[in-house]
Amino acid sequence: MKQVHADETPVKYMRIDKAKVKNGKKTYMWVYRNNPHCSPHPIVLYDWHPSRRADHPGEFLKNFVLMESDNGANASAMIFSIAEASKANNLNTYDYFEVLLSEIPKHQDDKNLVFINELLPWSKNV
């Protein structure tokens, strides 16, 4: 049996106006996930909305066609894990991604990945 689990969580988004970051308002991120017991490929989809209206899942899934992509699901899971780890360590998520995206390319040819320890969100160097 094919199943999709859905849930929403409040998200405060930030606006960037003229290079200044401003606090935004409370919005909602809807998360959809397939049943891992029914498929060997985990899928997680995110859908942002400014409100919590109950019709959002119906609208989102109305023309839904299942296209499984391990690479896309894994990439999304990694990105969201990094974002949540940065928030859990009281880092500005935007700034943290900026650090990662500027530092990691400097080590593309490195065989030793010890440098990553310095980039972890709980590192004193971040």
C-alpha of 17 from chain center: 23
pLDDT of residue 102: 92
Percent of the chain scoring above 70 in pLDDT: 75
Residue 34: strand pairing partners: 4
- pLDDT at position 118: 92
For residue 99, what pLDDT is reported? 92
DSSP string, 3-23: -EEEEEEEEEEEEEETTEEEE
pLDDT at 61 (0 to 100) = 73
The closest of 71, 92, 74 to 83, measured between CA atoms, is 92
pLDDT at residue 96 in the model:
92
Cα dihedral 73, 76, 82, 83 sign: negative
Residue 100's SS3 state is helix
pLDDT for res 91: 92
Token pair belonging to 15: 């606006």
Q: Where are the alpha helices (H) located in the chain, listed in sequence order? A: 56-61, 70-88, 93-103
- Cα 57 from Cα 8, distance rounded (Å): 10
Residues of the chain with pLDDT under 50: 1, 66-67
Q: Which sequence spans correspond to the domains of the chain?
A: 1-68, 69-126
Q: Tens digits of per-residue pLDDT, 8-38?
A: 888 877 666 665 555 667 888 888 887 767 6
